[in-house]
Amino acid sequence: MLPEKEQQRIIEQPEQLIEAIQQLVVRGAPAIGVAAAYGLCLAIRGCKDIDTVRSRFREALPALRSARPTAVNLQHMVDRMADLESSAECEHLDGAALKERLLSEARAIDEQDQQCCQAIGESGASLIADGATVLTHCNAGALATAGTGTALSVLYEAWKQGKRFQVLAGETRPLLQGSRLTAWELHKNGIPVEVICDGAAGSFFYNGEIDVVITGSDRVAANGDAANKIGTYTIASLAKAHQVPFYIAAPSTSFDLSIASGDEIPIEQRSADEIWSPTSQQQPPEGIGHRNPAFDVTPASHIAGWITEVGILHPPFEEIRR
Amino acid sequence: MLPEKEQQRIIEQPEQLIEAIQQLVVRGAPAIGVAAAYGLCLAIRGCKDIDTVRSRFREALPALRSARPTAVNLQHMVDRMADLESSAECEHLDGAALKERLLSEARAIDEQDQQCCQAIGESGASLIADGATVLTHCNAGALATAGTGTALSVLYEAWKQGKRFQVLAGETRPLLQGSRLTAWELHKNGIPVEVICDGAAGSFFYNGEIDVVITGSDRVAANGDAANKIGTYTIASLAKAHQVPFYIAAPSTSFDLSIASGDEIPIEQRSADEIWSPTSQQQPPEGIGHRNPAFDVTPASHIAGWITEVGILHPPFEEIRR
C-alpha cells in the first residue's frame, strides 16, 4: 500500500505467512528469512506436549522453505531452525522448553539480521563519495530486512558520516519497489532521491551522471554470480559498459556456497497480471503473451565487490565459508 | 485508449492538433510530420483572399514546428510546406489555388510516407531469419506513421514473405507504447508477441534469447547517432555487449544531416506524472523527485545498420543527402 498508506498486518498462522511472502507483503531476502523463522514458531504456538510440538514443527518446514524459490535466506533460516530442533541440545527438552528455545533462536536470527544490516552499512560507506550520484534498484532497505537494509544501509551509514549525495531509484517494474518503497524510505530519512524509469538508466550512464551502483541480492553463488530483482543485470551490464562500479550488498545469509554459479539459481516466474495491472483493472488482452521473470543473475565479472557484514569480499568468500 | 478502446479523434483546428501531438494522441516521428502538414492546411481552411491565406499559413508555422522538439520529421514537413508556399511556383496563385496546392502537397507527404513504410519493410525484411526472436521497443508501427510503420513494417514484410518468428515487445515505460500499441498491432496482424518489462531485456539477452533488435528513430544525425524513445539506448548497449545486431528503421525524413552528432539533438523532458500515474491517481509524493527524459540517443557505434526506404544505409548517408 506504500507510499499512500502504511499498514501493519498481524500474522498468526504459518499459512498466512506463506501467503504474505508469496504476495510480497513480506519481501526482501533477509526479511523473508527472519519471517520464516518466526513462522515456524507460529506453527507450534498453542501446542503443549513434546510430540505435538515436534510433529507440527516438522510438518511446517517444507511449505515455508519453498514459499519462494530464489532468495536463499528463506532456506537457510528454515534449515537453521530445523537443525536446532533435531540437535542434541534439544533432544531432552519438554514441549514448553523446546518452544521457548525455538522462539529464542528466531529472535536471535532477527537480532543478527539487524546487526548485519548495521555492519554492512559500515563495510560499504567508504564507497560513497561526497557529491556522488548513486543508482539503486528495487528495495534493499529497511523494508527488505529486520534492520536498516543492505544496499540502503550503506547509504544511511554514509549519510550519517556526513557525506552528502543523491540517489537515483530505478522504479523497478513490474511491482515498482523502487518508486513505492525505496524512494519513500530514502525521503523519510532525508536523503535526496529521484525516481527514473528502468529503461532510462542507460541515458543517465551515457551522460556520465551515475558514479556508483549498489543493489541487494537474493542469492550469491560460490563464484560470486548474484541473483537479484529483474532489471539488475541490465543495470550491471550498463555499469560495466560505462566503467561505473557495481556493488552487491548482502548479508552472508544470502550467500549459497553450495552452488558453483548463478546457473544453478532457480528464477521465479511470476504472473502476467503484474505487468499488465498498471494500465487497467482488466485481464491482459487475449492472444498477447507476457514473460515475467522476477529475478535475473548478474555474473561475477560485472560486480566490483560484495559488501557484507564482515567487509567487502570477493570470491571465493573464504571469510564466510561455514 | 488502446488496447481497450479504439477511438478516432477528428481535428479541425491547428491548435487542437498541437495539443494532440503534445498529449501523444498523434505520436511517432513520421505520423507527426504528416499530421503537421495537414495541420497547416487546417490553418487556412475557410480563408478566401490570398493575403489572408498567406498570413494565416505563416502565423501557424512556428507553433506547429515546435510542438515537440526531438523528432525532426515535424520540422522537415513544416519546412517543406513553408518552402512551397514561398516558392516561385506559388507566387502568382490566388487564395483558392494556393490552398489547393498546399493540400495536394500535404497529401503527397502522406502518400510518400506510406510508400516509405512499404519500402523500409522491403529493405529490412532480409534481416529477419526464420525462427528468430526479435526485440523491439516503443511503437514504430502503423500507429506511428501514415503507412505500416518503420521497424514493424520490416516485420510485416518478413512475415508476408513467409518467415515465421516471434517478437518480444519492451513495454516502454512510462507510457507503455510497447504493451499498449506494439503488442496490439502485432497481434492484430497475426505475429506472435510477448510483452516484457524494459528492465528484463538484459536477462533475455543474457540467456541468448534475442537474435536481432529493430527500433524506430525520431532523428538520425549525420554521423548516424539516433534519438529514439527512452530506453532504446539501454537496449542498444545490451545488444552490443551480447553481440546481437541492433538496427534502426526510419524514413529519410527522420535524418537530420544538418547536425553532426546526437549531442545536438534536443531531448524532450516530460512530466513526472507520466512516471507516477500507474500506481495512483494522486500526485507524486511530496519531496520525491522524478527524472523523465522522453528520448535517449544511441551512438552510431551501437547500430548495425540504418534501414531506410532506399536500402540499409551507413553514415555518411550519401544516398539521401539532399
A275 contacts on B by Cβ (under 8 Å)? 171, 179, 195-197
Q: Are B207 and B260 contained in the same domain?
A: yes
Q: Are A80 and A36 contained in the same domain?
A: yes
Q: Are B107 and B241 contained in the same domain?
A: no
pLDDT digits (tens, 9 = 90+) for A253-271: 999 999 999 999 999 999 9
B197 touches chain A (CB under 8 A): yes
* CATH classification at residue A80: 1.20.120.420
Domain for residue B1, yes or no? no
Q: Do B278 and A279 touch (CB under 8 A)?
A: yes
pLDDT at A281 over 70: no
Q: Give the number of domains in chain B.
A: 2
- Smallest Cβ distance to A200: which of B203, B204, B231? B231
How far apart (Å, rounded) are the C-alpha atoms in residues A56 and A44?
Answer: 6
State mean pLDDT over A241-250. 98
pLDDT at A284 over 80: no
Q: Give the list of residues 6+ apart from residue B64 with CB closer than 8 angstroms, or none.
A: B14, B17, B18, B36, B39, B40, B74, B78
Domain for residue B177, yes or no? yes
Q: Are B50 and B115 contained in the same domain?
A: yes
Domain for residue B312, yes or no? yes
State mean pLDDT over A103-120. 98
Contact A178, A149 (CB under 8 A): no
Q: Are A114 and A128 contained in the same domain?
A: no
B263 touches chain A (CB under 8 A): no
B235 touches chain A (CB under 8 A): yes
Q: Are A76 and A182 contained in the same domain?
A: no
Pick among B135, B194, B198 to test the A interface (most A CBs inside 10 A):
B198
pLDDT digits (tens, 9 = 90+) for B109-150: 999 999 999 999 999 999 999 999 999 999 999 999 999 999
B240 touches chain A (CB under 8 A): yes
CB pairs A-B closer than 8 Å = 188
A202 contacts on B by Cβ (under 8 Å)? 231, 233-237, 296
Q: Are A292 and A155 contained in the same domain?
A: yes
Count CB atoms within 10 A of the CB of residue B42.
20
pLDDT at A147: 98
Q: Do B285 and A233 touch (CB under 8 A)?
A: no
A179 contacts on B by Cβ (under 8 Å)? 275-276, 279, 288
B173 contacts on A by Cβ (under 8 Å)? 171, 173, 197-199
pLDDT at B282: 56
Domain for residue B3, yes or no? no
Record the pTM.
Answer: 0.96
- Smallest Cβ distance to B237: which of A171, A202, A293? A202
pLDDT at A278: 57
Q: Can you give A290-308 as a three-state secondary structure string?
A: ECCECEEEECHHHCCEEEE
A276 contacts on B by Cβ (under 8 Å)? 179, 195
Domain for residue A245, yes or no? yes
pLDDT at B214 over 90: yes
Chain A residue nearest residue B234, CA to CA: A202
3-state secondary structure of A249: strand
β-pair partners for A296: A228
A-facing residues of B in 274-303 (CB < 8 A) are 275-276, 278-280, 282, 284-285, 287-293, 296-297
Could you tell me how far CA B84 lies from the centroid of its own chain? 24
Q: Do B195 and A290 touch (CB under 8 A)?
A: yes
pLDDT digits (tens, 9 = 90+) for A189-216: 999 999 999 999 999 999 999 999 999 9
Q: Are A178 and A281 contained in the same domain?
A: yes
Domain for residue A141, yes or no? yes
Could you tell me which residue, B154 or A3, shows the higher pLDDT?
B154
pLDDT at B254: 97
Q: How confident is the model at residue B197 (pLDDT cuts 50, 70, 90)?
A: very high
How far apart (Å, rounded) are the C-alpha atoms in residues A201 and A271?
Answer: 25
- Summary mean pLDDT of chain A: 96
Q: Are B72 and B144 contained in the same domain?
A: no
Percent of chain A with pLDDT over 90: 92
The domain boundary, picked from A104, A119, A134, lies at: A119
Q: Do B296 and A202 touch (CB under 8 A)?
A: yes
Contact B178, A198 (CB under 8 A): no
Q: Are A113 and A156 contained in the same domain?
A: no
Chain A residue nearest residue B291, CA to CA: A196
pLDDT at A83 over 60: yes
A180 contacts on B by Cβ (under 8 Å)? 279
A170 contacts on B by Cβ (under 8 Å)? 199
B132-160 in b/e burial notation, b at 16+ Cβ within 10 A? bbbbbbbbbbbbbbbbbbbbbbbbbbbbe
Domain for residue A1, yes or no? no
Could you tell me how far CA A110 lies from the centroid of its own chain? 14
Q: Are B169 and B304 contained in the same domain?
A: yes
The domain boundary, picked from B94, B119, B144, lies at: B119
The catalytic residue among B218, B225, B256, B296 is: B218
**Alpha-carbon separation of residue A180 from A117, A140, A170 (angstroms):** 21, 12, 10
B279 contacts on A by Cβ (under 8 Å)? 176, 179-180, 278
How far apart (Å, rounded) are the C-alpha atoms in residues A54 and B185?
Answer: 58
State mean pLDDT over A62-87. 97
**DSSP tag of B253:** G
Q: Do A193 and B278 touch (CB under 8 A)?
A: no
How far apart (Å, rounded) are the C-alpha atoms in residues A290 and B178?
Answer: 12
pLDDT at B279 over 60: no
The domain boundary, picked from A93, A119, A145, lies at: A119
Contact A16, A64 (CB under 8 A): no
pLDDT at B1: 86
pLDDT at B127: 98
pLDDT digits (tens, 9 = 90+) for B281-312: 556 678 899 999 999 999 999 999 999 999 99
pLDDT at B321 over 90: no
Domain for residue B2, yes or no? no
Q: Do B238 and A235 touch (CB under 8 A)?
A: no
State mean pLDDT over A9-18. 97
Secondary element (H or E) of residue B289: strand B289-290
Q: How confident is the model at residue B322 (pLDDT cuts 50, 70, 90)?
A: low
**DSSP tag of B269:** B
**DSSP tag of B72:** S
Q: Are A45 and A135 contained in the same domain?
A: no
* CATH classification at residue B140: 3.40.50.10470
A181 touches chain B (CB under 8 A): no
Which residues of A are the active-site residues?
218
CA dihedral A7, A10, A16, A17 (to 10 degrees): 80
- Smallest Cβ distance to B278: which of A278, A287, A292? A278
Q: How confident is the model at residue A164 (pLDDT cuts 50, 70, 90)?
A: very high
Q: Do B297 and A203 touch (CB under 8 A)?
A: yes
Phi, psi of A133 (to 5 degrees): -110, 125
How far apart (Å, rounded) are the C-alpha atoms in residues B248 and B150?
Answer: 9
Expressed as residue numbers, the domain containing A275 is: 121-321
A2 touches chain B (CB under 8 A): no
Q: Is B256 left (phi over 0), alpha (psi -120 to 50) or beta?
A: beta
Contact B253, B73 (CB under 8 A): yes
| Long-range CB pairs of A3-12, under 8 A, 24+ apart, other chains included | A3/A180, A3/A181, A3/A183, A3/A184, A3/B285, A3/B288, A4/B280, A4/B282, A11/A39, A11/A42, A12/A42, A12/A45
Give B216: exposed, middle or buried? Use CB within 10 Å, 0-12, 13-18, 19+.
Answer: buried
